[in-house]
Amino acid sequence: MNRLLCPVVLCLLAAASFAQSPKQDKSTREIWIADRQQLRQAYDKKDWTAYRDALLQYHKDFPGSSRALKDLGTAEAMLGNGDAAATWLQQYVDRGLVLDFRKPELAALKAKGKLDEIDKRVQENSQVVSKSQAVFRLSTPDLIAEDIAYDPGSQHFFISSMRQRKILRCEMSGKCADFVTRQSTTPLGGMLAVRADASRKFLWATTANMQPEIDHQKSDEGKSALLKFDLDTGKLLKRYEPQDAAQHALGDMVVARNGDAFISDGLSGDVFAVFHDQDKLELLVPSGSFLSPQTPALSEDQQTLFVPDYSAGVAAVDLSTRSIRWLDTSVALDGTDGLYLKDGWLIAVQNGVEPERVARFRLHGEGKVDRGEVLESNTPGLGDPTHGVIVGNDFYFIANSGWDRVEEDGTIKPGEGAEIRKVRLQ
């Protein structure tokens, strides 16, 4: 699910990854909220020493946060501590990210020559990296294409449209037709996740009512469901809905080889499961464990669920014990919308970092990422990439989804249709 769908309070100050596993009295969400309150209070008072100190606590709680590194550098610059500012900013750009030197605090340091090495790295990080090739472009420009699935039996792609509230079925040539629409399935909000279970002939999808969808009704906001369709006909087989009174946006999903489905909710922060032998929607881990979880990925042995949290990095959930361990890393895993795994590499579509990119990160065991490789970045036409699907040794992903053209009122600016691109993984 795209970053625009995360809770407003969580979007005000992005967090990232932190390595932990010790028992703690507070949940991840409670720790994040407490840290953010300290930051907000200091910022509003313009007490930059207190703001810097609050950021240090935040960095301690979330040591993988790319945003925290940049903010610490800016805070030290505001306090006149040029060397300290450069140290933090160097760590930030070493993650392959870029800075805006036009900001007054950084411009002053740059003018003094304090950021020369950092500027060189930013220039490197701003270079085009393109290891993908175009497959086809969707002819309709205002779909807001969110997710893509593949059925090896029919050799069709399935692409969800958030704005048009439907699922398309597409040939490899790019010829597409409506597969599921509001007319065929009611009620139907914006379509988000889509996953094909070819062995059982199911097409799983999620729907949520949000402002960018056409004919949006504000009274429907927070309504969401998991849907199971017949893979061949598009007939709705079952609808699953959360049973609590909270607002939800079931957004992203992965389906295990045994038919279990794991679904993230970027609005409530919950992660749900539908186990094949139970066939009901249930919480996988306690509420508060995540802030804004996105597309999960399963380990090769299907025993570990890797959950990317848009604001808190990537966590590994042991499916036998349901315990959570956050990955230990010094690379930028925050801002990950889509996550996939192949041959020991986590493939990430990151539309919440600067620059937006598709990258892969090498897993060292199941608790650490030791290195990364950018696959696509700074490419003309990349726009806002969202999700992808692995087909053989290729990774197909959605570029120029349209999310970056959505206005605050939910309307969408003119532009080209989304493009399906692929990158070879071996």
* Count of beta carbons in the 10 Å neighbourhood of residue 284: 22
Looking at the whole model, is its pTM more than 0.75? yes
Residue corresponding to tokens 């608790």: 367
- How many structural domains are present in the chain? 2
The whole domain housing 289 covers 130-424
The CA angle 65-247-298, to the nearest 5 degrees, is 50
* pLDDT score, position 36: 94
Last residue of a domain, one of 80, 102, 127: 127
Based on the domain organization, do 258 and 365 belong to the same domain? yes
Based on the domain organization, do 174 and 274 belong to the same domain? yes
Based on the domain organization, do 117 and 138 belong to the same domain? no
12 strand-pairing partners: none
Residue 35: which CATH number?
Answer: 1.25.40
* pLDDT score, position 18: 38
Give the list of residues 6+ apart from residue 355 with CB closer than 8 angstroms, or none. Answer: 97, 98, 125, 126, 377, 378
Last residue of a domain, one of 127, 157, 187: 127
Residue 340: which CATH number?
Answer: 2.120.10.30
Report CA Rg, the chain.
Answer: 21
* pLDDT score, position 367: 82
Based on the domain organization, do 73 and 204 belong to the same domain? no
265 contacts 253 by C-beta, under 8 angstroms: no
* pLDDT score, position 21: 40
Q: How far apart are CA 206 and CA 271, in angstroms?
A: 13
Based on the domain organization, do 111 and 33 belong to the same domain? yes
Based on the domain organization, do 38 and 112 belong to the same domain? yes
Based on the domain organization, do 35 and 87 belong to the same domain? yes
Based on the domain organization, do 122 and 237 belong to the same domain? no
Work out the widest C-alpha separation in the chain, in whole angstroms: 66
Q: How far apart are CA 234 and CA 76, in angstroms?
A: 56
Full pLDDT tens readout for the chain, 426 residues: 554 444 333 343 333 333 334 445 789 899 999 999 999 999 999 999 999 999 999 999 887 788 999 999 999 999 999 999 999 999 999 999 999 999 898 999 999 999 999 999 999 999 999 999 999 999 999 999 999 999 999 999 999 999 999 999 999 999 999 999 999 988 899 999 999 999 999 999 999 999 999 999 999 999 999 999 999 999 999 999 999 989 999 999 999 999 999 999 999 999 999 999 999 999 999 999 998 999 999 999 999 999 999 887 899 999 999 999 999 888 999 999 999 999 999 999 999 999 999 999 999 876 889 889 999 999 999 999 999 999 999 999 999 999 999 999 999 999 999 999 999 998
270 contacts 225 by C-beta, under 8 angstroms: no
Q: How far apart are CA 233 and CA 228, in angstroms?
A: 12
Based on the domain organization, do 113 and 136 belong to the same domain? no
Based on the domain organization, do 246 and 365 belong to the same domain? yes
Last residue of a domain, one of 94, 112, 127: 127
Q: What is the DSSP letter of 45?
A: H
309 contacts 292 by C-beta, under 8 angstroms: yes
Based on the domain organization, do 263 and 352 belong to the same domain? yes
* pLDDT score, position 24: 58
Based on the domain organization, do 19 and 74 belong to the same domain? yes
